[in-house]
Structure 1
């Protein structure tokens, strides 16, 4: 389930939902507020829709055990994130947090990290990382890799710090680097919405039962490889549609 925001702000969540569906989640539901239902219905076909007015409605939806993974943040809105992130994290589901899920807690980052657990994946860029781990971001003498390791240890979640070389760390200290520089450069990923697609890729892999660290690593690699295959002119909508050909090349 991808939780969506108000009317006019649904594009990011739709990108995440499409990414989750393309990567192999058997069923993806987009959950916007009731007033945004028609807008999203006009843009979606294979993705299901459920109206989600508030946290009480989310609690009701989560009675359905088929919702095995949740994605919150892309286009969610700050007030909606503050209301829904705690319930999502306490649900026991695998959870991907991105975008507004971080901005909503910029003034109280510990309130967010205290909610996290081993089945959470956090996908901040550098600015969002600074909102939720301000002391680590303000420690330039500490290597970027060590900052990400400490963020994962502190939150008890997998942390994927996005960038040309994305760093993925788990709470136990394991670290992976997904390089998209040099011969593997994918500068076209610097386009609006590409991070939303990445959040959807990871949520889709979690829904398929992948370990959170493996889901983050695989999602980051597939994200960059899809961009490399497409090349110049890439926009975020193109990324999910590169996956079928990429999977055929990999023999998946």
Structure 2
């Protein structure tokens, strides 16, 4: 039986800094960017990870994208990779890495994911890094472990887990988590969070204002930012999904994805104040 996702389940696990905290102790998040015309999604995820508390956030990008990303970010750092091996080297220092938002529907994304899997970083796998594995989910699962998260909408879910949605969303997400050996965030009006050990939560506060391009990239960054700070994956995913929707409701009509990270401090303050 799935739980209803609620702050009472994870509020006490939120990672707050103390007087001894510094940027490295607050978690290091990497976000993999696509090429020069496809950097916006990674920038949204990176800014969200920074806003939710990760102490150091880097966008990891191909050389041609570096000047574009660097010119659009301030506190977020930029590092260049030229091969899966160099990406692996950069990611070794990260506590969590987001890969997929506009990463590219090509074999480079497959190889980059495999390289990240060789690091100790928790992975948040979204968008292109899901779609590229259409019809070959087993290859994707080989790069995952129990700390990792897949964040598909229903279309991406069907590509990686064909036919499972016929069982219903809750059962499909639970089965997918078991098959993948990783956490699943099945996005929708009632997002389902499923762990590979069988735990599931249904998120009740979904917002229609999230039906806008880039909102999923922000969610990936929120999950990655919390995971980078050491929050257990199931709690990190649950908290991020709830906060993402709460932020959208606080803004309301006219919301675009760029607005969401800036609302997260108010959401966090309300959670901290109880």
The TM-score, its normalising length taken from structure 1, stands at 0.93
Please name the residue that 1:96 is paired with: 124
The aligned counterpart of 1:147 is 172
Q: Which SS does the other structure have where 1:173 is aligned?
A: coil
CA–CA distance in structure 2, aligned partners of residues 76 and 251 of structure 1: 34
For the aligned residue pairs, the C-alpha RMSD in angstroms reads: 1.2
SS at match of 1:171: coil
Q: Which moved more, 1:154-163 or 1:105-114?
A: 105-114
Cα shift at 1:100: 0.5
**Equivalent residues in 2 for 1:51-90, closer than 5 Å:** 51-64=80-93, 67-79=94-106, 80-90=108-118
**Structure 1 residue 168 and structure 2 residue 193: aligned?**
yes
| Worse overlay, 85-94 or 33-42 | 85-94
Residues 220-231 of structure 1: pairs in structure 2 closer than 5 A: 220-231=241-252
* Alpha-carbon contact 2:46-2:58 (below 8 Å) kept: yes
Distance 1:49 1:189 in 2: 28
Residue by residue over 1:99-144, the C-alpha shift from the partner in whole angstroms, topping out at 9 and shown as x without a partner, is 010111113121102221101011000000001101313xx2x222
Q: Structure 1 residue aligned with 2:150, among 122, 144, 147?
A: 122
1:52-99 CA distances to partner (integer Å, 9 max, x unpaired)?
1210211221343xx110100001002231120111123231110000
Do 2:182 and 2:196's aligned partners in 1 also have CA atoms closer than 8 Å?
A: yes
Ranges in structure 2 where 5+ consecutive residues have no aligned partner: 1-29
Alignment of 1:1-252 (within 5 A): 1-64=30-93, 67-79=94-106, 80-137=108-165, 140=166, 142-180=167-205, 186-251=207-272
Distance in 1 (CA, whole Å) between partners of 2:79 and 2:33 is 10
SS of 1:251's partner is helix
- Name the CA distance, whole Å, in 2 between partners of 1:250 and 1:149: 28
Number of positions where the alignment pairs a residue of Structure 1 with one of Structure 2: 243
Q: Which moved more, 1:21-30 or 1:89-98?
A: 89-98
Q: Which has the higher contact order (CA 8 A, sep 6+)?
A: 2
- Taking structure 1 as reference, are residues 28 and 131 closer, same or farther at Cα in structure 2, changes over 3 Å only? same
Measured after TM superposition, the shift of residue 42 of structure 1 is: 1.2
Q: Tell me the TM-score normalized by structure 2.
A: 0.86
